[in-house]
Structure 1
Amino acid sequence: MKVLHLSTLNSSVNNAGVVRQLQYEKDAAIDLGIDWSVELWAGDVLDGFDFIRPYPSYLNSRLARRWFFFKVLRNYSSIYDVIVLRYMPVDPFLVFYKQDRAALISVHHTKEEGAIRASYLGLKGRILSVCDNFAFFVGARRFSAVVGVTPEIVEYELRRARRDLPTFVLPNGIDFSRFQVVDDRRFGSIKLVFVATFFFKWHGLRSLLSSIASCSKVDDFELHLVGEVSVEDVCYIHECGIKNIKLHGVVDISTLRDILALADVGLSSFGLGEKGVQQACTLKVREYLASGVPVFAGYDDIGLPDNFPFYMQGKPDLLDIISYAKNMRNFGREKIRRSSMEYIDKKNLVSKFHSWVVEEIKPE
């Protein structure tokens, strides 16, 4: 069976995590020896990724690029048996799609309504979310299956589609071999590391800072923030007089590994409810675990088993996080890394997904 995973982004440079995920998938398909291609169309090109196709320079509007991408999709529908399509919110052309041969699988990484309303506030967000619900409802008549990164997202999409479709839950994964365990330099005060490209509201940083501010007498810890912190949050840190925070800004991989070597715990998002979701399976968590760093976060990571000891779900409460971090000092980096491998390795996930596609999806 000949399969293509097809995606489009306005910018690959601004979505490096998505690009990395596609590279892991491509590498896994090669290692598995399956006929599975990956292609991403974007307004720019991130160096080192040969599956990215730049839009022609004369296409300088989102609508024009969507029309071009729709023609690409139509052309590939006569070449491949299955097209795994990363769903594009508010796509005006998908409703006109008619397949030649390829079965179309729609892949979803978020609940679109919540994401749209978080990006476009007020009336514009409401209008766009209504338009997307309609476009998806019509487009779902062309889908052979729906895939989501969490069960919560799959259930949401089926409600929007208002029809029964085959479904598959495909958590995010990483190329495990690319992430070697970091050095173990845990000593002295507890050290927490929170990594993000930019700390958006849904990362829940402000809630964590509020908890720290309310525990002013607790000083046996450090919080290392890696990435761009908003001006408002930096001002809040200064206003509250919080002394235990180190702002690193955006760093290179070598520097990040040095910081993670100090980490007792890696932190992930505490405010995904802002996007209307309670479940996730972020790349950041997988990169922490593959590096041998346990994780504390505010959501249910569906890619990990219940009661997995090196992932703790909880509120951004400093005392709870410190308690968990102290317990984690009893476990070595290699133990944490090895225990997580079967759940986060991209090759395992692609193999399971490919087997499901072969068994469940029938091309025209």
Structure 2
Amino acid sequence: MRCFERPQGEGLYNLKILYICDSDPKPASGVAVKIASQVAAWQKMGIEVDLLSYESLRLFDLHMQPKSTPFSFSLPAGRAWFFQRQIVASYRLMRMTRNMDYDFCYCRYLLFMPFLPVALKRAARRLVFEINSDEDKEWRVTNRLLWAYNKLGRRAVLPLADGLVCVTPELASSYDSWHKSTATIANGISCADYPFVEDTGNKTPQVYFVCSSEQRWQGLDKITHLAGLMPNIIFHVIGVHRRNKSNLVFHGRPPEFEVTELLKGADLAFSTLALHRKNLDQACPLKSRQYLAMGIPMVYAYVDPDLPADAPFALRIENTEDNYVKEMDSISTFIDRVFKNTAMRRKARCHTEENLDAGIKEKQRLGFLRELG
């Protein structure tokens, strides 16, 4: 099945891949940016890629612009329609994949639905799931009904996979019992898409925190409390709408290109601060990659597989409930040390180019796919 005209490449890997994203890519989504950088890197290496949304069964191009297919559909948004949307999507995907001939189907882990196993096995000769979170641990805390459903359903979905790509060693360990070929590849970023800011020109430290929502594990509550404890520093929050305070500014949920513009004024940024609320210790958030690509020193509270604990441009604090209080002196000292420190910002950018760039990550990913045959 040829869904749209494929780009011509040199065929370094000679593969055809169907990339299924679990929702329609949205301009404000960091996940959409990640997927776009992955697909772009693959195409540069001669891979033939089609990007399909499981939410609507529409195809999307590199610019995340949609193109309808004969199987596209639309149902009302909201939790009440969640299972209806999932069932319809799995049925239509099963019909859509009837004549597909891809080498690989690549997607994030998908919740079991009645027609999904048949659809995924029809789509390609090999199936690879990308594991970005531990649903078993997360849903046990946040949604017991979904956790119980997935506990049973994953027995019909995970055995279908020929391989798993996990973003941290911790996640890879949690899936050991499934005895699947597994690669650990942390999140990367297309460095060329983000400007390096050597000097913000700020007279007072401007500290930023990007969150995709108000999920408790991101630690927004800790940022708001920290702002109250550090009145001489201006805090900015991107991703939620709230009333501004004297030194706490909320920027709502702007599209990704506006997030980049806002971060040009960041002297320091905070990454995830409350991963302990998901019973996890390791992470590699997309926002942390953007911070470092732009040369922004950061504070984080987890183990990043691609970031040395003693990196001079990043301060790692404990992954505990009261970490921001216990280590406030360390945070204050770090802010003073990196403020207007252009050498530190260059180190952050260089580390990203040498270790986190999408070109490096995608060569690792495609190498793993080739090993699977």
Same fold (TM over 0.5): yes
Answer whether contact 2:17 2:47 (CA < 8 A) is retained: no
Note the C-alpha offset of 1:37: 4.5
Q: What per-residue deviation string (whole Å, max 9, x for no partner) do you get for residues 82-129 of structure 1?
A: 222321124343455684661222221111123334553xxxx2x432
Residue 102 (structure 2) aligns with:
80
Say which of 341, 344, 348 aligns to 2:353. 341
Alpha-carbon distance in structure 1 between the residues aligned to 2:258 and 2:152: 46
Q: Which moved more, 1:313-322 or 1:102-111?
A: 313-322
SS in 1 for 2:29: helix
Residue 327 (structure 1) aligns with:
337
SS in 2 for 1:312: strand
Residue 273 (structure 1) aligns with:
276
Residue 154 (structure 1) aligns with:
172
Alpha-carbon distance in structure 1 between the residues aligned to 2:91 and 2:188: 31
Residue 55 (structure 2) aligns with:
42
- Kindly indicate whether residue 93 of structure 2 is the aligned counterpart of residue 69 of structure 1: yes
Note the C-alpha offset of 1:52: 6.6
Note the C-alpha offset of 1:266: 0.9
Name the amino acid aligned to 2:90.
R
Say which of 296, 301, 304 aligns to 1:301. 304
Alpha-carbon distance in structure 2 between the residues aligned to 1:260 and 1:58: 35
Answer whether contact 1:186 1:263 (CA < 8 A) is retained: no
What percent identity do the matched residue pairs reach? Answer: 22
Answer whether contact 1:41 1:53 (CA < 8 A) is retained: no
Note the C-alpha offset of 1:287: 0.9
Residue 31 (structure 1) aligns with:
44
Residue 236 (structure 2) aligns with:
224
Alpha-carbon distance in structure 1 between the residues aligned to 2:30 and 2:67: 14
Alpha-carbon distance in structure 2 between the residues aligned to 1:209 and 1:187: 21
Answer whether contact 1:185 1:261 (CA < 8 A) is retained: yes
Q: Which moved more, 1:344-353 or 1:303-312?
A: 303-312
Note the C-alpha offset of 1:254: 6.6
TM-aligned CA distance change 1:310 to 1:37, over 3 Å = farther
Note the C-alpha offset of 1:25: 0.8
Note the C-alpha offset of 1:15: 7.2
SS in 1 for 2:17: strand
TM-aligned CA distance change 1:248 to 1:10, over 3 Å = closer
Note the C-alpha offset of 1:187: 4.1
TM-aligned CA distance change 1:274 to 1:11, over 3 Å = farther
TM-aligned CA distance change 1:130 to 1:73, over 3 Å = farther
Q: Which structure carries more relative contact order (alpha carbon 8 Å, separation 6+)?
A: 1
Say which of 72, 95, 104 aligns to 1:56. 72
Note the C-alpha offset of 1:72: 3.7
Alpha-carbon distance in structure 1 between the residues aligned to 2:161 and 2:257: 43
Note the C-alpha offset of 1:73: 4.7
- Kindly indicate whether residue 167 of structure 2 is the aligned counterpart of residue 167 of structure 1: no
Answer whether contact 1:183 1:261 (CA < 8 A) is retained: no
Name the amino acid aligned to 2:20.
S
Alpha-carbon distance in structure 1 between the residues aligned to 2:109 and 2:15: 20
- Kindly indicate whether residue 35 of structure 2 is the aligned counterpart of residue 17 of structure 1: no
Name the amino acid aligned to 1:195.
V
Answer whether contact 2:162 2:180 (CA < 8 A) is retained: yes
Note the C-alpha offset of 1:32: 2.2
Residue 351 (structure 1) aligns with:
363
Q: Which moved more, 1:138-147 or 1:41-50?
A: 41-50
Answer whether contact 1:82 1:103 (CA < 8 A) is retained: yes
Alpha-carbon distance in structure 2 between the residues aligned to 1:328 and 1:292: 11
- Residue segments in structure 2 that go unaligned for 5+ positions in a row: 1-13, 77-83, 318-322
Note the C-alpha offset of 1:307: 2.6
Q: TM-score if structure 1 supplies the norm length?
A: 0.81
Note the C-alpha offset of 1:28: 0.5
Residue 196 (structure 2) aligns with:
181
Answer whether contact 1:190 1:322 (CA < 8 A) is retained: no
Name the amino acid aligned to 1:149.
V
- Kindly indicate whether residue 225 of structure 2 is the aligned counterpart of residue 193 of structure 1: no
Answer whether contact 1:9 1:43 (CA < 8 A) is retained: no
Note the C-alpha offset of 1:179: 0.6
TM-aligned CA distance change 1:71 to 1:298, over 3 Å = farther
Say which of 81, 93, 112 aligns to 2:135. 112
- Kindly indicate whether residue 120 of structure 2 is the aligned counterpart of residue 102 of structure 1: no
TM-aligned CA distance change 1:71 to 1:357, over 3 Å = same
Q: Which moved more, 1:195-204 or 1:93-102?
A: 93-102
- Residue segments in structure 1 that go unaligned for 5+ positions in a row: none
Q: What per-residue deviation string (whole Å, max 9, x for no partner) do you get for residues 325-359 of structure 1?
A: 22223343334212221222111101011112212
Alpha-carbon distance in structure 1 between the residues aligned to 2:26 and 2:220: 24
